[in-house]
Amino acid sequence: MAVVEMFNHWKQKLSGMRFPIRWRWMLLVSVTVALAVLIQSLILLNMERDSWLRSQSAQATIMVERLGDEVKNFMLAGRKLDKTQVDIIVTGFRKKIPTVLGIQVHYTGGELNNYGNIGTHPPLADGKTASATPTRLLSEDLWYVQPVSYAKTRVGSIAVRFSEDEWQHLANRFISDTLMVAVLLLFLASIAAYLIATRMSRPLETLAQAARHVADGDFSTRIALSGNDEITDAGRQFNHMVSELAHKEKLRDVFGRYLNPKLVSDVFSETDTAPSSHRQQVSILFADMVAFTAFSENTPSEEVVNILNRYFELFHRIIDYYGGHVDKYIGDAVMAVFNHPHEDDVHIRHAAMAGLGITLACQRLAEERNGGPDIQFRVGIHHGDAIVGNIGAVQRLEYTVIGDAVNVASRMTGLGDGGEVMLPQETFKCVGEGFTFASIGRKSIKGIQKSINCGRITADDEKTRVNIEHAVALAMDLTSQAEAAVVIREATSVAVTGDA
């Protein structure tokens, strides 16, 4: 159990370590080359030993036969003097040939004489004479046995042990040369594998870095393509994917200017579920331009559009500052919704502050204009339950809010003058501290059975007024910056076109 836990621990630890591809390739190639050199070296070493043994056997056989010829006459006599002569011949033979380590001479009478180093496994130690032809014995030592015969009469046997130092020397030299070649091959193969793997991994690293940029929202990232392999195909598909994401983000941005932000988010989400209709409490704000008909008749169409866009740009930023969103533009009027799609516990208060901010923004713009037509907006606010959902035909839907709260807020704009924010008293009671309500009496609202006590709201708390002034100032600054950016972009475009 402990071994398994230790294995899992190291497996998890190693899996969390970063092991670059270049190092993996270098390790793989190095191990492969090392194994190939090792296997080939073992095969060649075995072949070299076989060749050396064949050569050694040929030489040893000739020498042992010659030794047998020299001593056979003396071994046949068997006299003491003759045996002494055998000792002299054998001793001289061993001294004359340095590769001979030991010799055994066995007589037919059973006498066995040892000369030199016969090792731990002498072939004639059992006292039996060899009956085979001259050959090498299959033993740990390099023994060659020669039966000695005179006139077809067996007179004994001679066993000669040869040294393997020559083979060890040859083997050591072979191994050292092989190691040098192996080290050189490993070095060259590792360098080549590292360079090739580095060249292969760089596009992958570039791809990973580009993916991080895309994950951070930079859809302008592209990968430079070169080559015709699988990595190039991956880069080409990545560029195509980023192009599609950029196109999708552009569509999201464009649709976000025309549609409800929740609708846009749901449409571009990975789910296929359409936004569902439901009932929800919301605050509705309407801002309607005073005397728009007369203004549009006496003003060029382009200027009418530009002025409305400038006012609506400010209104949008103020409404967004207080957590609402513009549901739609209806000619010269704007409709905003609070507490949808983003929930807001004080949405009624924020709607009132946004309405007062709109009237203050109109004053600031009039001061900037310093002349020209007097442009004023009247604002109506109401809160209550409304139905949020898809309204329209199958071919053309609008995701909006409908209900009495919307109708009453729209009617409130007709009760006040320019620069006033009108709302029912029941809505004012939910606004909170820092405001004053000036009642204009009970009014009959079309579509509502009972009359409603209505009035205008103003901010009488310093902190509240400062907050509204800050929202308006921020909206005007952002609008000015956006307009300056547009001017610079258009000027740049004209300059580039002129140079072209």
* pLDDT (average), residues 196-220: 78
Six token digits for residue 120: 């731990």
Domains 19-168 and 277-494 share a fold: no
Count the neighbouring beta carbons within 10 Å of the beta carbon of residue 122: 17
What confidence score (pLDDT) does residue 322 get? 93
Q: Among the listed ranges 38-52, 123-137, 482-496, which one has the minimum average pLDDT value? A: 123-137
Distance (Å) of CA 372 to CA 10, 164, 245, 295, 417? 79, 118, 46, 11, 20
Residue 474's φ and ψ, nearest 5 degrees, are: -65, -40
What confidence score (pLDDT) does residue 78 get? 64
**CA pair distance 336, 421, nearest whole angstrom:** 14
Question: Which residues fall within 8 angstroms of residue 274, CB to CB, at 6 or more apart?
Answer: 266, 390
CA atoms within 13 A on the CB side of 249: 12
**CA pair distance 203, 272, nearest whole angstrom:** 36
Q: Is the pLDDT assigned to residue 379 strictly greater than 90?
A: yes
Per the DSSP assignment, residues forming a β-bridge with 159 are 104, 145
What confidence score (pLDDT) does residue 210 get? 80
What confidence score (pLDDT) does residue 485 get? 67
Six token digits for residue 470: 């800050």
* Bond preceding residue 341 cis, omega within 30 of 0: yes
**CA pair distance 146, 318, nearest whole angstrom:** 117
More confident residue, 285 or 388: 285
Confidence of residue 372 (pLDDT cuts 50, 70, 90): low
Helix (H, G, I), strand (E, B) or coil at 112: strand
**pLDDT, tens digit (0-9, with 9 covering 90-100), for 62-79:** 788 888 778 777 777 666
Task: Say if strands 421-424 and 377-392 run parallel, antiparallel, or are unpaired.
Answer: parallel
Q: Which of 141-145, 209-213, 271-275 has the highest mean pLDDT?
A: 209-213
- pLDDT > 90 fraction of the chain, expressed in percent and rounded: 16
Distance (Å) of CA 82 to CA 89, 109, 269? 11, 14, 113
**pLDDT, tens digit (0-9, with 9 covering 90-100), for 277-298:** 788 899 999 999 888 877 888 7
Confidence of residue 51 (pLDDT cuts 50, 70, 90): confident
What confidence score (pLDDT) does residue 259 get? 56
* pLDDT (average), residues 254-259: 58
Q: Is the pLDDT assigned to residue 258 strictly greater than 70?
A: no
More confident residue, 174 or 355: 355
**CA pair distance 156, 137, nearest whole angstrom:** 17
Six token digits for residue 463: 């902190």
Q: Is the pLDDT assigned to residue 3 strictly greater than 70?
A: no
DSSP string, 25-56: HHHHHHHHHHHHHHHHHHHHHHHHHHHHHHHH
Confidence of residue 422 (pLDDT cuts 50, 70, 90): very high
What confidence score (pLDDT) does residue 132 get? 47
Helix (H, G, I), strand (E, B) or coil at 74: helix
**pLDDT, tens digit (0-9, with 9 covering 90-100), for 53-63:** 777 777 777 78
CA atoms within 13 A on the CB side of 172: 6
**Cβ-contact 112, 106 below 8 angstroms:** yes
Confidence of residue 263 (pLDDT cuts 50, 70, 90): low
What confidence score (pLDDT) does residue 478 get? 86
**pLDDT, tens digit (0-9, with 9 covering 90-100), for 444-456:** 888 778 888 999 9
Helix (H, G, I), strand (E, B) or coil at 217: coil
Running DSSP on this structure, what letter comes out for residue 424? Answer: E
Long-range contacts of 217-225 (CB under 8 A, 24+ apart): 219/245, 219/246, 219/249, 220/246
Six token digits for residue 393: 């035909």
**pLDDT, tens digit (0-9, with 9 covering 90-100), for 83-134:** 788 888 888 888 888 888 888 888 877 788 888 888 777 777 654 545 545 5
CATH classification for the domain delimited by 19-168, as one of 3.30.930, 3.30.450, 2.60.40, 3.30.70? 3.30.450
For the chain, the helix, strand and coil percentages under 3-state DSSP, each to the nearest 5 = 55, 20, 25
**pLDDT, tens digit (0-9, with 9 covering 90-100), for 309-342:** 888 999 999 999 999 988 888 888 999 999 987 8
**Cβ-contact 408, 335 below 8 angstroms:** no
Distance (Å) of CA 489 to CA 271, 370, 477, 482? 37, 27, 18, 11
**CA pair distance 482, 317, nearest whole angstrom:** 12
What residue segments make up the domains of the chain, in order of their start? 19-168, 277-494
Confidence of residue 496 (pLDDT cuts 50, 70, 90): very low
Nearest of 164, 409, 146, 202 to residue 288 by alpha carbon: 409
**Which CATH number describes the domain made up of 277-494?**
3.30.70.1230
- pLDDT > 70 fraction of the chain, expressed in percent and rounded: 81
What is the reported pTM? 0.54
